[in-house]
């Protein structure tokens, strides 16, 4: 009889430990709600962030030219560069900023200022875009 009581006691201990480690339905619901909220937030950021970037007139490269141009948009380094007056702009391309500056100079004329994203070219870098060092890059 002692063995039966011991077995019952062991079963009771096992069931008590199992109950402690089990989650209730409300705990499962809370975790699923958190997971759903995180999924919705991630999906929203994946959609909204690129649109916010595109809303900034879709220009990564910005160049000021020495002379106004009336040229139509040109395909340079896999992106279209659009110029209005002395301002040229283009979206991000898979090329070095210096190469884009040189390509803009070749197509539209001398560059007086150039930016690539947050990077502003110094006077020396702009002069290198316009100078003889411009021959150092590959053709478009």
Distance CA(18)–CA(23), nearest Å, equals: 10
- Yes or no: say if 100 and 115 are a contact pair by the CB < 8 Å rule: no
Residues forming beta bridges with residue 122, ordered by sequence position: none
Amino acid 136: pLDDT: 52
For the chain of 140 residues, list the mean pLDDT of each consecutive stretch of 10.
61 68 66 75 66 61 92 90 92 91 92 94 92 54
pLDDT of 70? 87
pTM of full prediction above 0.85:
no
Q: How many CB atoms lie within 10 A of CB 109?
A: 19
Give phi and psi for 70, each to the nearest 5.
-115, 15
Residue extents of the structural domains in the chain? 2-54, 61-136
């Amino acid at each position: 009889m002692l063995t039966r009581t011991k077995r019952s006691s062991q079963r009771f201990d096992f069931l008590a430990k199992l109950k402690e480690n089990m989650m209730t339905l409300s705990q499962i619901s809370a975790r699923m709600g958190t997971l759903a909220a995180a999924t919705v937030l991630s999906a929203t950021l994946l959609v909204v962030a690129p649109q916010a970037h595109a809303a900034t007139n879709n220009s990564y490269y910005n160049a000021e030219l020495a002379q106004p141009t009336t040229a139509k948009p040109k395909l340079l380094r896999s992106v279209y560069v659009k110029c209005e007056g002395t301002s040229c702009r283009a979206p991000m391309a898979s090329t070095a900023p210096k190469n884009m500056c040189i390509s803009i100079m070749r197509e539209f004329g001398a560059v007086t200022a150039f930016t690539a994203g947050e990077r502003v070219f110094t006077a020396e870098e702009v002069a290198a875009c316009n100078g003889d060092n411009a021959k150092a890059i590959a053709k478009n």
